Structure 1
Amino acid sequence: MRPLRNPVVQTSMAWLLSEWMRFCYATIRWTHENEQAAEEVWAEGGGVLCAFWHSRLALGPASWPMKRAQPIKGLVSLSPDGEFFTKAVARLGIPAVRGSSAKKDKAASSKGGTQALRDGLKQLKVGGLAVTPDGPRGPSRQMAEGLPLMAKLSGAPVLFIGLSCKPAIRLNSWDRAVLPLPFGKGAIVWDKAWYPEGAEMSEVVADWTERLTAVEARADAIVGLERI
């Protein structure tokens, strides 16, 4: 049995990860670029989709100021690793909507994709929903249709969030995930969009993929993290 399938191990590792993330967020020197786009959304309240690539999942909570932004939940996969990360992020104040947004996955409905869509749209009536549109299995930086579909159905704005830090640990995972280290440099770069009325889904996916990659690349450039 894989260790992360053990509930006791999950809980212990989730506690360690959440405390490590909290410590890193507090000691990193953050640079914010185009934060006004996010400030407008926070001031208005209500629904908002927050998107960042899966490799920056461990940095995501650093982009959401709990005291002045609307409540937010994260769309997290149903995998055992997803359960582990759900517990860690919940300790940081971000509960989960479980399921996959990857409409490209033919088995998505059996893994909770349909229910996740319903629950995600329900959450967007009151607050934010964080999505990694290339998760849970990739390919890296290739957007599935789940994010634009939810934006189209809900009418909620989308915040593209580029996240980076240096120094950092690069995991040997499919997305080459970035884990923060303390006392370094960090960057959060914002962009905002709505689903264009009458637009073809494929056009939106292509445009949003480019924009999300652009803010991430800009964040990497600010801190000096090598692009992979």
Structure 2
Amino acid sequence: MLRNIAFIIGYYFYLLLVKTCKIRLVGFNEVEEYWRQKKNIVFCCPHNAILACFIGVDSVHRPNVVLISSLSQDGELVAKLLIKRRFEMIRGSSSRGAKKALLELQKAAKLGKSVGIAFDGPKGPPFVPKRGIVACARVVDGPIFFIHAHVTGSRIWGLKKELRVNSWDRFLIPLPFSKVSVHFEKIPDKSEMNFTDDEQYEKFVLKKVEERTTELYKHIYKK
């Protein structure tokens, strides 16, 4: 009963954000170009910014994208909300349901679908990406885009723009009438970096994502 109430409150708060936040997408034109070429993409973002990222892409055209959500109770609520908002879901994480999720992802890839994943979820450590993002890229045979989101201000002067939850990831909650900027950054692929070894490329991707995330978000852990 309490979880149902939490879902209803969360869903209508999410709708309020979608309706009132001013969204700025940076680099999304490159994503659209890949889609015009009928190529699949792996989107990865830090767990702390997933709500802001979803708000940013909720209303844009997103053909054939599936999202991976954990099997935790929190993951269940997130999946339920996003399904209601017309997102497709695959359930599983590095700790639970990984094999089943990979099989579903393989089926989705064959249908020409891209995939989105929070790379340091569901429990962290923060900013440290799981190897699954590279495995996803191999399955869908497409580039990796690192997504990060930030609340840059409020549309109403004097109104508070965001909250940070005191959780392991310092989860970001944009507030109604805030300005949200969502950035799409392509990670160089194996051929661009002249890597011939898969393991070497995997280390490069994981290091690149961790370093970029730390650069952008390390300030949220300062008191």
Which of 85, 89, 92 is matched with 1:92 structurally? Answer: 85
Matched, 1:135 2:118: no
Q: CA deviation at 1:211?
A: 4.0
**In structure 1, distance between residues paired with 2:107 and 2:188:** 18
Alignment RMSD, CA only?
A: 2.2
Conservation of the 8 A alpha-carbon contact between 1:58 and 1:179: yes
SS of equivalent residue, structure 1 residue 142 = coil
Relative to structure 1, the CA distance from residue 182 to residue 65 in structure 2 (aligned partners, 3 Å threshold; closer, same or farther) is: closer
For 2:131, the equivalent position in structure 1 comes to: 145
For 1:112, the equivalent position in structure 2 comes to: 97
**In structure 1, distance between residues paired with 2:28 and 2:40:** 18
Ranges of 4+ aligned residues in structure 1 off by more than 6 Å? none
Conservation of the 8 A alpha-carbon contact between 1:55 and 1:176: yes
Matched, 1:164 2:150: yes
Q: CA deviation at 1:69?
A: 2.2
Matched, 1:19 2:12: yes
For 1:202, the equivalent position in structure 2 comes to: 203
Q: CA deviation at 1:90?
A: 1.3
Relative to structure 1, the CA distance from residue 21 to residue 171 in structure 2 (aligned partners, 3 Å threshold; closer, same or farther) is: same
Whichever residue aligns with residue 144 of structure 1, its letter is K
Whichever residue aligns with residue 117 of structure 2, its letter is V
Conservation of the 8 A alpha-carbon contact between 2:67 and 2:117: yes
Residue deviations 1:132-185 (CA, integer Å, cap 9, x gap): 110111000101100012212331222211112241111111101011211111
1:25-44 aligned at under 5 Å gives the runs 25-44=18-37
Normalised by the size of structure 1, how large is the TM-score?
Answer: 0.80
**In structure 1, distance between residues paired with 2:58 and 2:166:** 30
Q: CA deviation at 1:131?
A: 0.3
Taking every aligned residue pair, what percent have the same amino acid on both sides? 23
Relative to structure 1, the CA distance from residue 227 to residue 176 in structure 2 (aligned partners, 3 Å threshold; closer, same or farther) is: closer
For 2:171, the equivalent position in structure 1 comes to: 177
Residue deviations 1:89-135 (CA, integer Å, cap 9, x gap): 111111321110x3xxxxx3xx2111111212322332221101101
SS of equivalent residue, structure 1 residue 169 = strand
Conservation of the 8 A alpha-carbon contact between 2:49 and 2:149: yes
SS of equivalent residue, structure 2 residue 147 = strand
**Unpaired segments of 5 or more residues in structure 1?**
1-7, 103-107, 221-225
Aligned residues: 204
**In structure 2, distance between residues paired with 1:34 and 1:196:** 21
Relative to structure 1, the CA distance from residue 88 to residue 51 in structure 2 (aligned partners, 3 Å threshold; closer, same or farther) is: same
Q: CA deviation at 1:35?
A: 2.4
For 2:156, the equivalent position in structure 1 comes to: none
Conservation of the 8 A alpha-carbon contact between 1:98 and 1:116: yes
**In structure 1, distance between residues paired with 2:36 and 2:55:** 18
Q: CA deviation at 1:77?
A: 0.7
For 1:4, the equivalent position in structure 2 comes to: none
For 2:70, the equivalent position in structure 1 comes to: 77
For 2:157, the equivalent position in structure 1 comes to: none
Whichever residue aligns with residue 205 of structure 1, its letter is L
